Structure 1
């Protein structure tokens, strides 16, 4: 399942927008990235996609399910109505190529206005009916992941107690998938339940640690129990652990520990830590990747590798709280770890879009989108200047550096010396531009001498 294009009329800042979503004829990637200043409308695009997709999720759950309506405040000022149209392709069922496309529209009129536009949901019902039919004939049939992670997905606390027991059936993979983002409480409950089941059918981590301490890790009894534990690993938990390890090098063995109190633990470079002790960026990454992997595992129970399940994932400000090193590898890791998922991302980070090959990038400005190609391999400063229209350093310092270079090129030695002295007092030692200026200044002095 893939989104082919999104069309908006009178939604937010967009009067009439038609945006193709990767993969396209020119971009074989499964990643579309939208960049733009705050208030440019990036979030509006993702929320519009989430609104349309909510009707598919609702009708997969029940035949007459109702998705989210267009919010009143989203309708453009003075417009009689707003319309969101989405075009999708789905090749998961046997049908001629011309029957693999599905288009539906959500419409909403302004209060007190007569617009004449109406929602058209016939084809979303057809697509949902296909998946319900598959689940009826095959209990282990896979479902597509559909998830939206808003900016408010930050993980502020890690719950320690389970207040309410939840079921974790296949359809529960859609719970809060389009209206809340990361739900770490539900993740913790799911992980604990799966791990309890895994330990009942195999050997627990605590038991294996006690055997290692008593008999040593080279003993026959430890090796036997270790092999038994490996053979009894829960496939869904394995998928989550491997996804987190792929995104967070050095982090292994995510688990629930009961002593001295109930908490989730993980090994970081060989040191066991309570997940609550991790930095905000580490917690955010673990929660995001873990949630995607958990939902894929729940919805693709028959796959050998649930991470290869089909899906659509929308992430607003994907670089949120992440270290620059993780920002650089983020798109590549998403594509490699979840190869059959389509991603639509927004970002403010030049590192995210300069380190991924063949990604479809749109620059959003004043309600208009412009495709921007050829970003792979550019340094962060070039992306800031060419794509994000942002100075690479403080604008006042940049202007003074420019004036310094002009004075040097014009041979104005006294003015150049004065500017150089002022900047040297303010900027740190070893500043690259000042070092270049110092060489040119010395050459000019020698020439004068």
Structure 2
């Protein structure tokens, strides 16, 4: 399942905007990236998608379920009503016998409308398409106990606030439909992640060999002993498939991290190994925790909703992430889109970012620039350096504008053969800029060349 396109009419700052999402005939990846200045409307677009998709989640849960509504504040200033239209394609094999809204491409459309209070509404919500699509999934769950569900999740900027509980006070169930809990209104739910992980690990240890027991055997008899080898093999065969999916996803995104687990001593906490050193998850940096929580939450939901798949990470779905580069080191930003596509190959991603590194290091990504309520598609960003992306896509200087102006003046003096003026400006800049500045190094060579020519 994936979003084909959506349209906003008088929503936020958008009067009439239609967006086609990847994959398309031109962009084969499953990733669409939105860039733009603060206030350009990137978050508005993601929230509009989340609002529309909330109706599908609600009606998969119950036949007459209600999703989120547009608020009056979402209506564009000066307009009397707002409308979100969305088209979702679902061509899963299980739907072959199910009558689609459009038999040619399995396109389901629905609209969410809101009028201003006291005004006569001229547009109305249309929910026939979402009801038909939800009916299909409910029918599948009824007739096939191995049926899968599509992941639908929205991760807002507020996902950076993480809560790691020390105690579990409320017992929760983790059935297949529970993969939708807080998926569109809360972002990363680390408390629920911790509870789910602990329950699965307890079950895994009951049917196999715990990490603690294996470590004790290793310490007492050594890893070359027959008993350690036997228990190690038994542990590998009893690995929980859902936990394995989460662990492998985190390992793929975070090189050097492994063996995520719950430890009971000296107190209950979640631990992970970083470069061979065991750490409490709360000891990780904000960027590390944000990445682990985001990737872990996506993997957890996929594992819950695709329990019959050999690799639950191959389940399909739609994931919306606002400011995907939040708190991440540039090295992780560079590989982020590639890793999302490789780790979750059948999920469609719609991302926003302010980082030039995110969009210049991935192939076949559909990138849109938002500016003053208008949308512009960017071509051929793969392989551009960060400075080019800053200049051409994000309309931002690559360095301080005053410094750039003086460097440009220095170059002009040299081109015009004004040696004295160039040397004076070079001396000023050398006092202000750090030693080894590349542009100053180039200017020093040109000054020396000009001096030799005059001599």
- Whether the 8 Å contact between 2:91 and 2:105 is mirrored in structure 1 is no
Partner of 1:40: 40
| Unmatched runs of 5 consecutive residues or more in structure 2 | none
1:98 partner SS: coil
Partner of 2:253: 247
Distance in 2 (CA, whole Å) between partners of 1:373 and 1:312 is 24
Alpha-carbon shift at residue 402 of structure 1 (Å): 0.6
Matches within 5 A, 1:151-300: 151-300=157-306
Partner of 1:125: 131
1:111 partner SS: coil
Partner of 2:96: 94
Distance in 2 (CA, whole Å) between partners of 1:263 and 1:58 is 34
With the length of structure 1 as denominator, give the TM-score of the two structures: 0.99
Aligned residues: 449
Partner of 1:16: 16
Distance in 2 (CA, whole Å) between partners of 1:211 and 1:156 is 35
Distance in 2 (CA, whole Å) between partners of 1:373 and 1:18 is 18
Distance in 2 (CA, whole Å) between partners of 1:441 and 1:285 is 48
- What are the Cα deviations for residues 111-158 of structure 1, in whole angstroms up to 9, with x where unaligned? 221131100000100000000000000122000000000000014442
With the length of structure 2 as denominator, give the TM-score of the two structures: 0.98
- Whether the 8 Å contact between 2:154 and 2:183 is mirrored in structure 1 is yes
CA-atom RMSD in angstroms:
0.8
Partner of 2:365: 359
Distance in 1 (CA, whole Å) between partners of 2:241 and 2:57 is 25
Distance in 1 (CA, whole Å) between partners of 2:191 and 2:204 is 20
Partner of 2:85: 85
| Unmatched runs of 5 consecutive residues or more in structure 1 | none
Alpha-carbon shift at residue 252 of structure 1 (Å): 0.4
- Whether the 8 Å contact between 1:155 and 1:287 is mirrored in structure 2 is no
Q: 1:394 aligns with which of 384, 396, 400?
A: 400
Partner of 2:29: 29
Partner of 1:72: 72
- Whether the 8 Å contact between 2:162 and 2:190 is mirrored in structure 1 is no
- Whether the 8 Å contact between 1:408 and 1:440 is mirrored in structure 2 is yes
Q: 1:373 aligns with which of 376, 379, 390?
A: 379
- Whether the 8 Å contact between 1:155 and 1:283 is mirrored in structure 2 is no
- Whether the 8 Å contact between 1:157 and 1:276 is mirrored in structure 2 is no
Q: 2:390 aligns with which of 384, 393, 404?
A: 384
1:311 aligns with 2:317: yes
